[in-house]
Amino acid sequence: MIIQRHHLALALGFLLAAGSSTAGELIANASVTLTADEAKEVFLGDKQLAGGAKLVPVDNAAAQADFLSKVLQTDSTKYAARWTKKSFREGLTAPAVKGSDAEVIAFVKSTPGAVGYVSGASSGVKVISKY
């Protein structure tokens, strides 16, 4: 009887955890039009303009590890090294880092050309893709 309760509790915990997870989203300011692949290029430092507008990438400290592994197929060490090289070779500045989904959404809403990512659903911004 105790073992059955234990298994039931584990199963219930798993279902609750699985049901509460949401996909991350690549988001942009309403003025930005990008494909998911183009948005990846923004975070790799390979795309700086869209329709004549300067793009402004912003990293999300709370969701960065997931974004880097799922979307860019890299880790934080390689990502930082890439931006260090881009800085020295091309004079580019690494994306600003915000601490939470709410901070990223607020920045993206208020900054023309901004592109970011959040760990869950967002509102008031353009969703480029889910990851």
> Position 22: which residue type?
T
- Say which amino acid occupies 47: K
Phi and psi based region of residue 52 (left: phi greater than 0; alpha: psi -120 to 50; beta: remaining): left
CATH number for the region 22-130 comes to 3.40.190.10
**DSSP annotation of 63:** T
Chain segment 32-60, per-residue pLDDT in tens: 999 999 999 999 999 999 988 999 999 99
Task: Identify the band that residue 90 occupies on the pLDDT scale cut at 50, 70 and 90.
Answer: very high
pLDDT at 106: 98
Instruction: Between 122 and 14, name the one with better pLDDT.
Output: 122
Spatial CB neighbours of 69, under 8 Å, sequence gap ≥ 6: 75
Supply the pLDDT for residue 34.
96
Tokens of 14: 């798993």
CA angle 47, 82, 85 (to 5 degrees): 95
What is this structure's pTM?
0.82
| Cα–Cα distance for residue pair 48/57, rounded to 1 Å | 9
The alpha carbon dihedral of 98, 100, 103, 108 has a sign of positive
Q: Smallest Cα–Cα separation from 109: which of 53, 27, 29, 50?
A: 29
* All structural domains of the chain with their residue ranges: 22-130
